[in-house]
């Protein structure tokens, strides 16, 4: 991580990259450059676009954030477009499970909010894994490609990834998003199995899988901060 006068930025070097590129993901400035790019070239790029970077960082800080939770009866938790009302039950520990419109979490009598939160996160992990295994397989079949594996992770600054070997990973927090948003991220990462870059050809593949992907992308950019508990 490198410090500018008003913000920090991360430098990512690649032997495959031929041009310098800036992007901001989840409030983090990333500078993607060819492997032999000099520090002076990076500094010049940052200086040239500093106003744009500062504007985007301000926009990110103004986005809505996830509300504080007490993890008590009556709180509502969204999962892929459905809302569930929390019901805490005293008893032997048991995985969180939906019962109609309720999300029941069974914990020992002395359990605190952290224990209840842990159960709910486990439930979100399971929901995310099931969803992304299904949607990745669906989009991969349409493209005539296949993923080596599909996993769910606790990413801090990304929604998904596709490794060079074809391993797909997705952020469990996407289980809090509307189903169409999760579909977009699945389509995005599966498209990397065909084009491991963000070239026009890549985006054409994404659009072929999901013609309204820009709407979901905009939702994620604007409301992604809400996807946490």
Please tell me whether residues 50 and 107 are part of one structural domain.
no
Question: Given this model, what pLDDT does residue 222 score?
Answer: 87
Question: Given this model, what pLDDT does residue 67 score?
Answer: 87
Place of tokens 């031929």: 18
Question: Given this model, what pLDDT does residue 64 score?
Answer: 81
Among candidates 128, 202, 194, 203, which has minimal Cα distance to 160? 128
What residues in the chain have per-residue pLDDT under 50?
1, 3
Please say whether the beta carbons of 20 and 41 come within 8 A.
Answer: yes
Helix or strand run (H / E) with residue 157: none
Question: Given this model, what pLDDT does residue 2 score?
Answer: 53
Whether 28 is in a domain gets the answer yes
Please tell me whether residues 34 and 102 are part of one structural domain.
no
Please tell me whether residues 29 and 92 are part of one structural domain.
no
Give the residue numbers spanning the domain of 216. 76-226
Whether 217 is in a domain gets the answer yes
Question: Given this model, what pLDDT does residue 157 score?
Answer: 77
Number of domains in the chain: 2
What is this structure's pTM? Answer: 0.76
Whether 66 is in a domain gets the answer no
Look at residue 87 and give its three-state secondary structure: strand
């Amino acid at each position: 991580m490198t410090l500018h006068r008003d913000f920090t930025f991360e430098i990512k070097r690649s032997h495959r990259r031929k041009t310098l590129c800036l992007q901001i993901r989840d409030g983090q400035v990333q500078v993607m450059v060819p492997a032999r790019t000099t520090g002076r070239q990076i500094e010049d790029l940052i200086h040239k676009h500093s106003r744009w970077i500062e504007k985007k960082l301000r926009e990110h800080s103004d986005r809505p954030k996830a509300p504080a939770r007490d993890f008590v009866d009556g709180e509502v938790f969204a999962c892929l477009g459905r809302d569930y009302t929390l019901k805490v039950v005293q008893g032997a520990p048991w995985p969180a499970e939906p019962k109609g419109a309720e999300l029941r979490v069974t914990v020992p009598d002395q359990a605190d909010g952290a224990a209840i939160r842990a159960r709910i996160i486990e439930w979100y992990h399971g929901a995310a894994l099931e969803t992304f295994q299904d949607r990745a397989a669906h989009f991969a079949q349409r493209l005539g490609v296949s993923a080596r594996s599909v996993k769910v992770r606790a990413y801090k600054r990304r929604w998904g990834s596709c490794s060079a070997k074809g391993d797909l990973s997705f952020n469990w927090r996407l289980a809090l998003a509307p189903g169409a948003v999760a579909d977009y991220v699945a389509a995005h990462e599966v498209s990397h199995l065909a084009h491991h870059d963000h070239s026009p050809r890549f985006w054409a593949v994404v659009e072929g899988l999901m013609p309204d992907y820009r709407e979901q992308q905009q939702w994620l950019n604007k409301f992604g901060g809400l996807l946490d508990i």
